[in-house]
Structure 1
């Protein structure tokens, strides 16, 4: 099976051709149902035998008990405890993925890379290899069922298939 997921650059080209420009303050005027490209988010992949134990020693949440069916929020701090970044993380069959603001992604990846040392872990920027979308509204579940036969029931539940990874997050009121 080949991965036919469009690259971010192809996705950006498509959005530009469609005249799509979502201003930062547009969420106040969004319709009940919508799909939005999450272009402001970057992705870091961690692979290797020691990826989970390495990351577990670097961040604020338990990576070693992270399973394939859930995602978690975590933070990355300085040795003095100052928060540098927060991110959403999930585990795939062969990697751990960190989703964080694109503006922070290169610096956080570089800083994590400095501490890899002898650990069997590799970090890679996979932001250009994935398309990240946000779906919301009453019809979101119906739309997603076309690609994912089973949707996560709770916030931070995760589903994977040949089309990609789906992570359910809580809405602004905390409801899944």
Structure 2
């Protein structure tokens, strides 16, 4: 956000109450429309949009801390692969993130943290680019779920199992033209 919008750490803290917001904070601000417009249709996703997977709690214990990625382009339709859900279409979303969990090993939907396209070497955790798979209603385009990678057999997460939201940053501070 600092690079994309030219915000300082102070600007970020003023907007979201932290100089380094976590996934849960971004998730809540996207849903609340606090300097974000929520993107709910697959056709509307664009480079720069933020996809946030919210934290998951079970019996008072945090089971998943959440994850935040930046879309580096629009979601592209793909040929369906397992798991397949009736009434949905599948899409590959190009992303940038920092993670210690590989976004799959695919020759076409590569994770940049694998040397040589994951054919040799070891995955290196940290910042990189990759792809996630999104599911959308085949008729309306409404977002229905996701998998961590674009590989057959990936675990499917519905919003009820692992809530997520996609948001587009809106203008937060007045520009010289606004004054």
Say yes or no: TM over 0.5.
no
TM-score (norm 2): 0.28
Q: Which has the higher strand share?
A: 2
Q: Which has the higher helix share?
A: 1
TM-score (norm 1): 0.28
